């Protein structure tokens, strides 16, 4: 062919092409190429060198595209990542709390006795008048049926105060239960006295029979004008209350509900205050009984409560 010269470069290129074609051919054709193996064998070192050069070029390109990061900077980035993860967990927990509070407020607003009140949510931050610690009784008191070192919760500290609309003597509820009243208000904090506090004396209440849901009537009321009987509730501590000197003719039973009478402002009427836990006969007076009333909720489990504000 005019002008065409066989050079070493062209021979090398032809052999490389033949080697590539041989690798791509189906296995069944390989036996026809046994004669070429001897010719292609000298190219193996060049193929290996080409492959190594390609890997070295890839590694150099990766190092150029990915700048080196110092160990200190890497640790800072990891700490920032962990902090963001913790913040995300805290925000999710906060969102769950707010969703639960919203559901509880919606449930409380459906109650007829609470529709005229403004519900003020407040988080419980301590179960004692002293912020940051719970109340413990150092010595047992047999009269109150307490054990040594047993937590005795009679008051709560709330993370809400005057600026949130809380005032002294406001009623405090949890779910559908009336649990106490606001006894002290600061700008950002407030204290709640539970009805189980021994300082609570003669809180007006009614008793509702668990069997039929009827309010117990006064024994001396005229038949044509029946009136509900009003009893005085006293706090005992340890989540218990007491109604003393109850006439046996009322026939109050264990499990009957104790509800607010609504005669002591600003407490709402007909909200559950507790459940009759025990009925004991007076050893000296045959016709008189003493009722032990259990609080409807465990104060140690309270995390959110609601003060009833004026609309």
Domain boundaries along the sequence of the chain = 8-65, 76-110, 118-309
CA distances from 221 to 90, 204, 258, 269 (A): 58, 18, 20, 20
Tell the residue number behind the tokens 């969102």, with chain if given.
Answer: 95
pLDDT for position 238:
79
Task: Give the span between the Cα atoms of 201 and 243, in whole angstroms.
Answer: 10
User: For 230-242, how does the pLDDT look when each residue is reduced to its tens digit (9 = 90+)?
Assistant: 999 999 887 899 9
pLDDT for position 53:
66
User: For 127-152, how does the pLDDT look when each residue is reduced to its tens digit (9 = 90+)?
Assistant: 764 433 444 433 334 444 444 444 45
Q: How confident is the model at residue 283 (pLDDT cuts 50, 70, 90)?
A: confident
Range picked from 90-99, 115-124, 148-157 for highest mean pLDDT: 115-124
Query: Cβ-count burial of 92 within 10 angstroms (0-12 exposed, 13-18 middle, 19+ buried)?
Result: exposed
pLDDT for position 276:
94
pLDDT for position 60:
67
Q: What is the mean pLDDT of residues 167-185?
A: 90
Q: What is the mean pLDDT of residues 4-8?
A: 62
Average pLDDT, the chain: 76
Model confidence at 110: pLDDT above 80:
no
For the CA atoms of 207, 263, 300, 106, the dihedral, rounded to the nearest 10 degrees, stands at 100
CATH numeric code, 118-309? 2.40.10.350
Model confidence at 185: pLDDT above 80:
yes
pLDDT for position 43:
52
Q: Which is higher by pLDDT, 226 or 181?
A: 181
Model confidence at 162: pLDDT above 50:
yes
Q: What is the mean pLDDT of residues 245-274?
A: 88
Percent of the chain with pLDDT over 70: 64
User: For 85-108, how does the pLDDT look when each residue is reduced to its tens digit (9 = 90+)?
Assistant: 888 777 777 677 666 666 666 666
As a whole number of Å, the end-to-end CA separation of the chain is 108
pLDDT for position 206:
92
User: For 188-231, how does the pLDDT look when each residue is reduced to its tens digit (9 = 90+)?
Assistant: 899 999 999 888 999 999 999 988 888 989 887 777 777 889 99
User: For 22-50, how does the pLDDT look when each residue is reduced to its tens digit (9 = 90+)?
Assistant: 666 566 655 555 555 555 555 556 556 66
Task: Give the span between the Cα atoms of 191 and 201, in whole angstroms.
Answer: 18
Range picked from 7-21, 119-133, 175-189 for highest mean pLDDT: 175-189
């Amino acid at each position: 062919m005019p002008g065409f010269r066989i050079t070493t470069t062209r021979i090398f290129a032809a052999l490389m092409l033949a080697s590539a074609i041989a690798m791509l051919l189906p296995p069944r054709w390989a036996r026809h190429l046994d004669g070429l193996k001897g010719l292609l064998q000298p190219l193996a070192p060049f193929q290996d060198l080409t492959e190594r050069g390609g890997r070295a070029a890839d590694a150099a390109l990766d190092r150029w595209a990915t700048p080196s990061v110092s160990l200190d900077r890497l640790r800072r980035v990891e700490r920032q990542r962990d902090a963001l993860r913790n913040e995300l967990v805290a925000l999710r927990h906060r969102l769950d709390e707010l969703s639960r509070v919203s559901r509880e407020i919606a449930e409380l607003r459906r109650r007829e006795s609470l529709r005229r009140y403004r519900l003020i949510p407040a988080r419980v931050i301590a179960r004692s008048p002293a912020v940051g610690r719970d109340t413990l009784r150092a010595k047992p008191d047999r009269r109150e049926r307490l054990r040594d070192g047993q937590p005795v919760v009679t008051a709560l500290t709330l993370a809400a105060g005057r600026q949130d609309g809380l005032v002294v003597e406001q009623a405090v509820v949890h779910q559908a239960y009336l649990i106490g009243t606001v006894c002290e208000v600061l700008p950002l904090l407030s204290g709640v006295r539970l009805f189980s506090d021994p300082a609570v004396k003669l809180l007006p209440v009614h008793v509702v029979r668990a069997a039929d849901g009827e309010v117990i009537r006064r024994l001396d009321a005229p038949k044509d004008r029946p009136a509900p009987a009003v009893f005085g509730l006293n706090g005992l501590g340890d989540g218990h209350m007491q109604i003393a000197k109850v006439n046996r003719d009322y026939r109050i039973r264990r499990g009957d509900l104790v509800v607010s009478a609504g005669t002591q402002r600003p407490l709402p009427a007909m909200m559950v205050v507790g459940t009759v836990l025990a009925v004991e006969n007076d050893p000296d007076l045959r016709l008189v009984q003493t009722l032990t009333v259990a609080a409807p909720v465990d104060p140690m489990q309270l995390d959110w409560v609601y003060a009833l504000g004026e609309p």
